[in-house]
Amino acid sequence: MTQPTTIASVTLVEAEHYRWGAGCDGWHLVKTPTLSVIAERMPPGTAEVSHRHGRAQQFFLVLSGELVLESPGGRHVLRAREGAHVPAGVSHQALNASAEPVEFLVISEPPSHGDRQVDG
């Protein structure tokens, strides 16, 4: 990955898309060697596995809906315009326990790809 040298706008239509879990979607909005910004959408009743990142810290910002972040420190319910910082090394699991989809941003520094360790 090379570092961009100009400002570039990004839309979800143009962003690199991927599917994960049971019908969840992700779009890479920023993908550089030092920063990752991903827009994600989780349908009702979906969850990722509990995991941690050895190097990457992350920030989750809810755009719409309700996201639950579970960690050994407790259960954090985040609604639109609310966020949470997950330091590197902290186990966490994102889930949508609501009846509506949830859309949120995941900002990782450095990028978390290849840095994921599944708990258990």
**Domains along the chain?**
21-118 (2.60.120.10)
* Burial degree of 86 (CB within 10 A; 0-12, 13-18, 19+): buried
Cβ(56)–Cβ(108) below 8 Å: yes
Cα–Cα dist 101/74, whole Å:
22
Give the distance, in angstroms, between the CA of residue 26 and the centroid of all CA atoms in the same chain: 8
pLDDT at 1: 56
For the chain, residues with pLDDT lower than 50 are: none
pLDDT at 50: 96
